[in-house]
């Protein structure tokens, strides 16, 4: 039985890294309701504009969000596929009741 996420550990690593910052988790929470304009995020998060732009780029590079330009505004939204992949990774745990949970080495 092969590990669940073996095929793309590198990509998942980058996605977890993109989530390893409290400001970016707050961005995720704001985007749960759907697509948001950067100006909305600027108002909601007390971040400087360049810093917010940096965090959004970080999340975009990791594939966590997608962006859309319209006029002079930019809209960001969560990428459901990425989150589904992460959900699969963190969700694939054994039942704690199974006997194979007890190590049998070094006995």
Partner DNA sequence: ATTATACATCAATAGCCATTTATGTGTCAA
Partner DNA sequence: TTGACACATAAATGGCTATTGATGTATAAT
**Residues found near a copy of itself in the complex (CB under 8 A):** 1, 3-6, 9-10, 12-14, 16-17, 19-22, 25-26, 28-30, 32-37, 39-40, 71, 73, 75, 77-78, 80, 83, 86-87, 89-94, 96, 98, 100-103, 105-106
Q: Which residues pair with 37 in a beta bridge?
A: 75
3-state secondary structure of 65: strand
Question: What letter would DSSP give residue 5?
Answer: T
Q: Which does 56 bind (CB under 5 to 8 A by kind): a copy of itself, DNA, none?
A: DNA
Q: Which does 50 bind (CB under 5 to 8 A by kind): a copy of itself, DNA, none?
A: DNA
What is the rounded CA–CA span in Å between residue 99 and residue 55? 43
Residue (1 or 22) nearer to DNA, CB: 22
Q: What are phi and psi of 20, to 5 degrees?
A: -90, 40
């Amino acid at each position: 039985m092969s590990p669940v996420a073996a095929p793309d550990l590198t990509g998942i690593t980058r996605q977890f890294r993109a989530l390893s910052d409290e400001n970016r988790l707050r961005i995720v929470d704001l985007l749960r309701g759907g697509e948001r304009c950067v100006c909305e995020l600027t108002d909601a998060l007390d971040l400087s504009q360049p810093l917010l732009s940096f965090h959004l780029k970080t999340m975009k590079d990791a594939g966590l969000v997608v962006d859309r330009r319209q006029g002079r505004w930019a809209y960001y939204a969560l990428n459901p596929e990425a989150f589904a992949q992460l959900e699969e990774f963190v969700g694939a745990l054994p039942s704690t009741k199974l006997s194979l949970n007890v190590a049998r080495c070094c006995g």
